[in-house]
Chain A
Amino acid sequence: MALHRLTAVIFKEFKQLLRDPRTLAVVLGAPLVFIVSFGMAYGGEIKHVDIALANEDRELFSWYVVQEVSSSKVFKISEYVDSFTGARNLVENGRVYAAIVIPSGFSKSISMLSSGTIYLVITHSSPAISRAVKAEANIVMARLQAKLLNILLKQLGLEALSSSGKTGIQPVKLDIAEISTIGSEIGMFTFYSPLITGLTLQNAALTLAAISVAREKERRTIEQLIMTPITRFEFLMGKFIVYFIFSMLITFISFEILINFFSLVLMGSLIDIVFLNIIFCIGSLTAGIAISTFSKTQMQAIEISTFILLPSAVFCGAIIPPEATPEYARVIIYATPLYHYFDSMINIMVKGMTLTDMPNHLIYLACYIAVTFIFSFKTFTKRIG
């Protein structure tokens, strides 16, 4: 392989891509619109989270808590239960995202000038929601703290102290009980995020690569190029590198938008996520190049790509999980590269697993790369007949 030829192809491809505003708009612009509209529809500010409330105390001070929680815009009390156990069950069953429990003796403790504890039971099923719930619970606590303190001091005739704020009395304390099992309901936004990033990445990489060689055939530029000493590897690699950079850039921007503007939370390691995206990007590119090598025109390449992109969205396991499909259909899901990306991403993003915990997915994606790469190398020859 000669470096000067490889770099010549890289520079050429960069220039061509930057001078082709239509392709850029389709490949770079469309995914961004897609990501932003997805974020606006499913992500963003969290309101009206279903929670359960258990008031075991039922004494004076507990009603202040109930009042304060009810007035929160983030919480929506959808279930009232009697006990901690009842509340906990609701959370575990996924009926509600969280529960606030006021244990018996709460008011008594406060009257005796010691702290009354409130429990927040919360599940990790949706990191974004649990984070929002925790934040809101703390805000509610702060309000309660001030309110209850005022009432206490009034009762004790020590109103003067309330303005100084230095009583040393902390009437309420928040105790957060986290339930780390995955509930049956992961937030829609979190669940579909890897599907969206996967689709965006796959679409950009596959389409870019698919039209690349086909365009050279359609415009006949390939005829001049195969008369030069350039090797197949240099030719395909030069294109590959440029499209890899573009596709990864799009993926990076997608994640940035989802995380910064729509509060997507990544539980697992960032390295695993980056690595997985790189692998999937390479696979999509080699698949695209494979399509390109046997397509005669760009139109043909795009048609074939569509036939791959559409079913892959349906069979990636996000719409129908493999467990819910009949045996024979499961094979299709397992054969879909996007499924392996999606499942790995869910495991990393939500469950905090690492790639080494799921070698099967990695092995499949590696095979996908190998097969498509060998195929494109075999199909693309430096002859025209």
Chain B
Amino acid sequence: MLSPIVSIVDLTKKFNGLVAVNRLNLTIYRGEIFGFLGPNGAGKTTTIRMICGLIKPTSGSINVAGVDAVRNAEALRSKIGYMAQSFCLYEDLTVEENLKFYSSIYGISGSERGKRIQELLELVRLKEFRNVLAGNLSGGLKQRLALAVAMVHKPEILILDEPTAGIDPPLRREFWRFFKEINREGITIIITTHYMDESENCDRIGLISNGVLIAVDTPTNLKRKAYGGDVVDVTVKGSRNALAEFQRIGSIISVNGSNGLWSVRVAVKNSEETLPVIPTFTEGVGLKLVGVRQVQVSMEDAFVKLVGG
């Protein structure tokens, strides 16, 4: 049974008359990895800052883990773990001192604190860097420390604002391993990103553009939505005139080729149903089937399609 952990109703934020977030409605469920996907300046950070209670919305309401995030932001603090877009920890303190400071702020002390720090250092693999000043860490290590600090008080919700921005792809993959590991322990993760490919790691994605939430769904469903179904690529030999017949099985996206060898891309309702009937279909319209495959639509294509209308 899905239980909501974040409920947003008609959320709007204006900065000096400029609308940053426009009437956003959304429910995020406990235990999921939810991603806000959108280009820079789309309103992702503003939205999650409002969820955290860092920014007061112009109108609308947000309920986070049973707490009114607009009126009672302070009550949220122990429930949320937050990792900001840029490195926000003390560069003149060591890895361990940063962790100690934040544990003390959350009221974790004594042997419990030592144990928790040990756990976190293991989780983000920073053990051998514990005595290094945070300012001397590389970008990737800094982000790992920030993740550990966000987790120090075992929050219910982990909010990550562009955690992988500016990090090279192998490290990004490593980060996602951490996120999944954390998520497995039952922690809800809300993440923003402008990397289309990594957003597919999320359970659900909310597409944001110009402050408007365009679509919310699983990555697979979003891609289907973009084209109204699955996309298949059929390669045939034969007359060009016969290609129009493909409209009978779906909508034609594109046709490429020449000299009687054609590659037709068609959006179909459901590839599982369509793929088996294609040989009979091509034979019926007088085309010789060369090959057929389902196209893995990239999130980027889907995003462009959905945002572009």
Interface residues of A (CB under 8 A from B): 2, 4-5, 7-8, 11-12, 15-16, 19-20, 219-230, 382-385
Q: What bracket does the count of chain B residues touching chain A fall in?
A: 20 to 34
How distant is the Cα of A12 from the Cα of B96 in the complex, in angstroms? 12
How distant is the Cα of A90 from the Cα of B238 in the complex, in angstroms? 127
14 new A-B pairs (CB below 8 Å) besides A19-B92, A383-B53, A385-B49? A2-B107, A8-B105, A12-B97, A222-B88, A224-B82, A224-B89, A227-B77, A229-B78, A230-B105, A382-B73, A382-B74, A383-B55, A383-B56, A384-B54
How distant is the Cα of A227 from the Cα of B54 in the complex, in angstroms? 8
Contact A219-B91, Cβ < 8 Å, known A4-B104, A383-B56, A384-B54: yes
Chain A: minimal CB distance from B110 (Å): 10
- Please name all residues of chain B whose beta carbon is closer than 8 Å to the beta carbon of A228 when the two chains form the complex: 77, 102, 105-106
How distant is the Cα of A19 from the Cα of B109 in the complex, in angstroms? 24
B31-75 contact mask (Cβ, 8 Å, vs A): 1 or 0: 000000000000000000100111110000000000000000110
B80 near A5 with CB under 8 A, answer no
B90-124 contact mask (Cβ, 8 Å, vs A): 1 or 0: 11110001000110111101000000000000000
B93 near A12 with CB under 8 A, answer yes
B149-176 contact mask (Cβ, 8 Å, vs A): 1 or 0: 1000000000000000000000000000
How distant is the Cα of A63 from the Cα of B249 in the complex, in angstroms? 134
Q: How many A-B residue pairs have CB under 8 A?
A: 79
B89 near A383 with CB under 8 A, answer no
Name the one of A2, A8, A224, A382 contacting B149, with C-beta atoms under 8 angstroms.
Answer: A224
Residue in B closest to A11 when the chains form the complex, CB atoms: B101
How distant is the Cα of A342 from the Cα of B40 in the complex, in angstroms? 56
B77 near A221 with CB under 8 A, answer no
Chain A: minimal CB distance from B309 (Å): 31
How distant is the Cα of A226 from the Cα of B53 in the complex, in angstroms? 10
Contact A8-B101, Cβ < 8 Å, known A15-B93, A19-B92: yes
- Please name all residues of chain B whose beta carbon is closer than 8 Å to the beta carbon of A382 when the two chains form the complex: 73-74
A223 near B105 with CB under 8 A, answer no
How distant is the Cα of A11 from the Cα of B149 in the complex, in angstroms? 18
Residue in A closest to B80 when the chains form the complex, CB atoms: A227
- Please name all residues of chain B whose beta carbon is closer than 8 Å to the beta carbon of A5 when the two chains form the complex: 104-105, 107
- Please name all residues of chain A whose beta carbon is closer than 8 Å to the beta carbon of B49 when the two chains form the complex: 384-385
- Please name all residues of chain B whose beta carbon is closer than 8 Å to the beta carbon of A220 when the two chains form the complex: 84, 86-88
